[in-house]
Amino acid sequence: MLKSRRFWLGVAITLLFLFLFLYRPWGEPLDFAEMGRALGEANYIFLLPGMLIFFVGVFFRSVRWRYLLKPLGSFSSLRLFPLIVIGFLVNNILPARLGIVARAYILGEREGISKMATGGTMVVEQLFDGVTLLFFIAVIALFGVSIGGLMQNAIYIAAGLFLGALALCFIFACSPRLARRMVSLVVHLLPQRWRGKTEGWLTRLIEGLEIMRSPGKLLIVFALSTLVWLCEACVFYVVAFTFDLGQPFYVFMLATALANLAWALIMTQGGLGSFDVACQETLMLFIPAGVIAAAYADLVAAYVIVLHALILLPMIALGFIFLWFENLSLAKIVSGERRAVAGHDPKEGKG
C-alpha cells in the first residue's frame, strides 16, 4: 500500500486541502489559540446523540443495499451492516473510495455471488447518494439561499456527472441490446489480451443495475437515500450545539450536501481536507449578525474538526472490530481486490 502512487497522490491532495482548511488563504485567517479555546470550552455531551444518529443512518444504508441486492439474492440488513462499516473503514484509510470495492469483494467471497454484479448495485447506491445531496441543495435554493463562485461551479460539475451517469445507467438497464453494443464497442478498443476479461466484467456490472428498470423501486431507493442523508444532516445539526453555532437546520443540510459532494469529487482518505474545506466555507456563508468574521471562522474550524472526527473515528474503530469478526485484514482485502480486478479470482461470476 505504501508503495502505491495512488496512495501518495491521495496523501498529497489531502495535505493540500488541510492547508487550505487551516490557513484559509482567501478568507479570514484562523487564530489557533482561539480555535483551541473553542475546543476547550465545547460541550461534548452532544456528541453521543450525534454518534447514535450517525449509526442510524448507517443502518438505513444497509437496508438500502439489501433492497438493491434483491435481484442477486436475499441478504439480511444486519448481515450487511458490518460490511458497510468495513467499507467506511477502508474509505477512511485509503484514497479513491476503495471501500466500495472492499464491500463487493467481501460479499462475493462470503456469499459466492458475482463481485462485479455486486459492484453494479453500489454504482446505483453512489449515484443516488449524489442525486439526493443535489436534491437537498435544490430544495434549499427554493428558500432564497444563493451560492456563488467556486462552490457553485462545483455544484454544476457534480450535477452533470451524477445526473449524466444516472441517465446512462438507466439506459443500459432498460435496453440490454444497447448495453451489449456499448460493451462490444468498448471491448474492441482494448488490446486483445484484455477483451475477454473486460467484456465479462462490464456484462456482470450491468447485471447489477437491474433494479433501475422499475421506477417504483427507484423511488424506494431515493426515499431510503433521503433517510440516510437526513440522518447525517441531523448529525451536523446536533454537533453544532457543542459549539452553540446557532444556525437553522437548513444551513446544516446545505453543509452536509456540499461537504459530501466535495468528498465524492475529491476522493481523499476519509475526505480529509476536501470535506473540511467545503463544510467550513459553507458555514462561513452564514455569519450571524453582529459576529466578527474572524472569530466565527475560528469557531467553525473547531466545529468541523470535531464533526469530522465523530464521523471518522468510531467507524474506523468499529470497522477493525468487524474485520476481526470476519477473520479479515486490510492487507487481505487489498490483495483480494487486486486479484479480482486482474481476473485471477476463481469465484468471480458465481450467482
**pLDDT tens-digit series, residues 206-254:** 877 888 888 898 999 999 999 999 999 999 999 999 999 989 999 999 9
pLDDT at 259: 96
Contact 257, 281 (CB under 8 A): no
pLDDT at 234: 98
Segment 271-290 mean pLDDT: 92
pLDDT at 339: 59
Residue among 273, 253, 251 nearest 263 (CA): 273
| Residue 351 pLDDT exceeds 60 | no
Quickly tell me which residue has 453544532 as its cell: 240
Instruction: For residue 132, give every residue at least 6 positions away whose Cβ sits within 8 Å of its Cβ, in sequence order, or none.
Output: 222, 225, 226, 228, 229
**Which of 3-12, 25-34, 284-293, 335-344 has the least mean pLDDT?**
335-344
Segment 75-85 mean pLDDT: 94
Distances (CA, A) of 243 to 277, 287, 306: 18, 14, 10
By the 10 Å C-beta count (0-12 exposed, 13-18 middle, 19+ buried), 37 is classed as: middle
Whether the CA torsion 174, 178, 179, 182 is positive or negative: it is negative
Report residue 180's pLDDT band, with 50, 70 and 90 as the boundaries.
Answer: confident
The Cα 1–Cα 3 span in angstroms is 5
| Residue 24 pLDDT exceeds 50 | yes
Query: Is residue 103 helix, strand or coil?
Result: helix
pLDDT at 128: 95
The reported pTM is: 0.89
Q: Other C-beta atoms within 10 Å of 112: how many?
A: 11
What are the grid coordinates assigned to 69, written together?
A: 441486492
The Cα 82–Cα 97 span in angstroms is 17
Can you give the residue ranges of every domain in the chain? 44-342
The DSSP element (H or E) to which 319 belongs, if any, is helix 293-325
pLDDT at 117: 85
For residue 249, the number of C-alpha atoms closer than 13 Å in the C-beta half-sphere is 9
Distances (CA, A) of 252 to 65, 115, 131: 26, 36, 17
pLDDT, one tens digit per residue, over 309-348 is 999 999 999 999 999 988 887 777 766 655 555 554 545 5
Q: What is the DSSP letter of 342?
A: H
